[in-house]
């Protein structure tokens, strides 16, 4: 099946994306769950790298701008080797419905089942916003605790690695705008906003419906104090005979890295 992608930046190379109303602050979801893993840290197996070897491997993999990183006394390179906090997706259940973006979105039928029954949505806080004309938004959000995921204050404040958010939504043709993305970088109190990004891309209406559209944004030079990333996306639904027809979304991601 031919890979179907739209441009790598917001708006997908089509019509200029509309700017949704910017919420004054992120909605308060429940406290983020404890980090899922890499499981409970275990004592290094005999074949695990030494502290010096773990440092060498991670510096080669991460490629920090100055070629090296200073760790606070509470951290070791062995622990970071297990946690791998950089260059991995920090969202839970990023593809809850198991949909493949390299193929057109599978056919969908109106359903009366709740969204949670259609896949593994562990980690997502889900709600519905009613609109007019049988339309509604499905709102899914997560709040990522960067320190709990293995990052550390000095890295975030001094190095300010890039924070990348990415998502793929279905061109469902249910409305002119079927998707919104809202992301906040938050301080330790989880309410002070240090940086934010909001977008509501509109599709061109050309080509077959159901292809995937990529949305992405990179936070750079956002300043010190970032401790949480609040990720929220909205997808449009339409009530039809037989139930709700939804816009699908998949491969959501939040990652931290030195290079793109």
Instruction: Give the whole-angstrom CA distance, residue 242 versus residue 3.
Output: 32
Residue 114 lies in a domain: yes
Name which of 79, 249, 39 is nearest 165 in CA terms.
Answer: 249
Residue 23 lies in a domain: no
Q: Average of pLDDT values for 154-167?
A: 97
Residue 175 lies in a domain: yes
Name which of 122, 141, 139, 167 is nearest 28 in CA terms.
Answer: 141
pTM equals 0.84
Handedness of CA 260, 216, 69, 225 (dihedral sign): positive
Percent of the chain with pLDDT over 90: 66
**Would you state the pLDDT for residue 21?**
62
**Would you state the pLDDT for residue 144?**
97
- In the chain, which residue ranges form alpha helices assigned H by DSSP? 51-62, 77-83, 153-154
**Would you state the pLDDT for residue 184?**
97
Name which of 249, 234, 248, 246 is nearest 110 in CA terms.
Answer: 246
**In this model, does residue 111 exceed pLDDT 50?**
yes
Backbone region of residue 52 per phi and psi (left: phi > 0; alpha: psi in -120 to 50; beta: other values):
alpha
CB 105 within 8 A of CB 95: no
Q: Report the mean per-residue pLDDT for the chain.
A: 85
Number of domains within the chain: 1
Q: Average of pLDDT values for 139-168?
A: 97
> The domain spanning residue 232 has which CATH number?
2.60.120.260
**Would you state the pLDDT for residue 133?**
87
- pLDDT tens-digit profile of 112-151? 888 888 899 999 999 999 999 899 999 999 999 999 999 9
Other beta carbons within 10 angstroms of residue 123's beta carbon come to 18
Q: Average of pLDDT values for 203-216?
A: 82
**Would you state the pLDDT for residue 33?**
53
Residue 120 lies in a domain: yes
- pLDDT tens-digit profile of 238-250? 999 889 999 999 9
Q: Average of pLDDT values for 80-91?
A: 96
Residue 199 lies in a domain: yes
Residue 110 lies in a domain: yes
Residue 11 lies in a domain: no
Instruction: Give the whole-angstrom CA distance, residue 13 versus residue 11.
Output: 6
Q: Average of pLDDT values for 254-258?
A: 97
Q: Which domain holds residue 195?
A: 87-257
List the single range of 26-40, 82-96, 137-151 with lowest mean pLDDT. Answer: 26-40
Q: Tokens standing for 160?
A: 């300010």
Residue 168 lies in a domain: yes
């Amino acid at each position: 099946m031919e890979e179907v992608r739209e441009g790598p930046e917001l708006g997908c190379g089509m019509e200029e994306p509309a700017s949704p109303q910017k919420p004054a602050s992120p909605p308060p979801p429940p406290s983020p769950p404890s980090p899922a893993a890499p499981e409970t840290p275990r004592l290094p197996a005999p074949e695990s790298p030494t502290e010096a070897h773990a440092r060498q491997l991670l510096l080669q993999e991460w490629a920090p701008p100055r070629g090296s990183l200073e760790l606070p006394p509470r951290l070791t390179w062995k622990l970071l080797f297990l946690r791998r906090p950089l260059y991995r997706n920090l969202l839970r259940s990023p593809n809850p419905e198991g949909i493949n973006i390299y193929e057109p979105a599978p056919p969908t039928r109106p359903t009366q089942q709740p969204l949670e029954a259609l896949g593994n949505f562990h980690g997502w806080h889900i709600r519905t916003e009613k609109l007019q004309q049988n339309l509604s938004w499905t709102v899914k959000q997560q709040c990522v605790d960067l320190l709990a995921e293995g990052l550390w204050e000095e890295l975030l404040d001094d190095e300010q690695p890039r924070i990348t958010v990415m998502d793929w939504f279905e061109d469902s043709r249910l409305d002119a705008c079927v998707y919104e993305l809202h992301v906040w970088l938050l301080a330790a109190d989880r309410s002070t906003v240090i940086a934010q990004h909001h977008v509501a891309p509109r599709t061109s209406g050309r080509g077959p419906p159901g292809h995937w559209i990529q949305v992405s944004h990179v936070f750079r030079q956002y300043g010190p104090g970032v401790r949480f990333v609040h990720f929220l996306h909205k997808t449009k639904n339409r009530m039809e005979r037989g139930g709700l027809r939804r816009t699908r979304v998949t491969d959501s991601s939040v990652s931290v890295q030195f290079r793109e």
